[in-house]
Amino acid sequence: MGRRKIEMKMVMDSSSRQVTFSKRRTGLFKKANELATLCGAQVAIVVFSPGGKPYSFGHPNVETVAERFLSQGGRPKVSIPDQVVDQSAEVRKLGRQLNALLKRLQAEMKEGEMLEEAITARRQKLKHRKPANELNVDELLEMKESMEKLREKIRGRISELEASYSLLLLSKMAVQQA
């Protein structure tokens, strides 16, 4: 008799529906396993039977894939290279470190935007001050002191950003080498 094309409609008989569900579920999980094996993909499938019983398949496991999927919302999408299939504890640790650094980078970028706004507001405020050639000696010394303080703050900030960037590069290199 062989295979025949089955019309896509709800199977009315409940026992036939259960048999169809079991066979299709097995085939679906087999295909997901092949996809994970052949392509190195992370796959998770959750299916509920007509009776409401849950069945799941995941590679490496459902929780890991679901956590990765759910943690993508609102963050920049950072993909780990395809060569990295091993989900050892070290790779997961580096992934968490990378995510922490990305959060910190976003916070730094927001802070930078706020500083830019503050600088712009300060410049607007300073437009109403006297030009430098009209300031007296005390005012010039005060201006010099505030500029030196600003220079030191900027140097400190640059050092912090360089350190953050170096850590980010190191973690990326470690993930690629893993």
Going residue by residue through the chain, which has 178 residues, state the pLDDT in tens, using 9 for 90 and above: 578 887 888 888 888 888 989 999 999 999 999 998 898 889 999 888 888 888 889 888 888 888 888 887 645 455 555 444 455 667 677 778 888 888 888 889 899 899 988 888 887 776 556 777 778 888 888 888 989 999 999 999 999 998 888 888 888 777 777 6
What distance, in Å, lies between the first and last C-alpha atoms of the chain? Answer: 52
Which CATH number is correct for 14-70, 3.90.1150.10, 3.40.1810.10, 3.40.50.300, 3.20.10.10?
3.40.1810.10
Amino acid at 168: L
Residue 110 tokens read as 């927001």
Nearest to 104 by CA among 176, 156, 170, 168: 168
What integer pLDDT is reported at residue 66 of this predicted model? Answer: 84
What integer pLDDT is reported at residue 84 of this predicted model? Answer: 46
What integer pLDDT is reported at residue 178 of this predicted model? Answer: 63
What integer pLDDT is reported at residue 87 of this predicted model? Answer: 53
Task: Report which DSSP code applies to 130.
Answer: P
Alpha helices in the chain (DSSP H): 14-39, 62-70, 89-126, 137-177
CB 49 within 8 A of CB 55: yes
What integer pLDDT is reported at residue 156 of this predicted model? Answer: 92
Task: Report which DSSP code applies to 4.
Answer: -
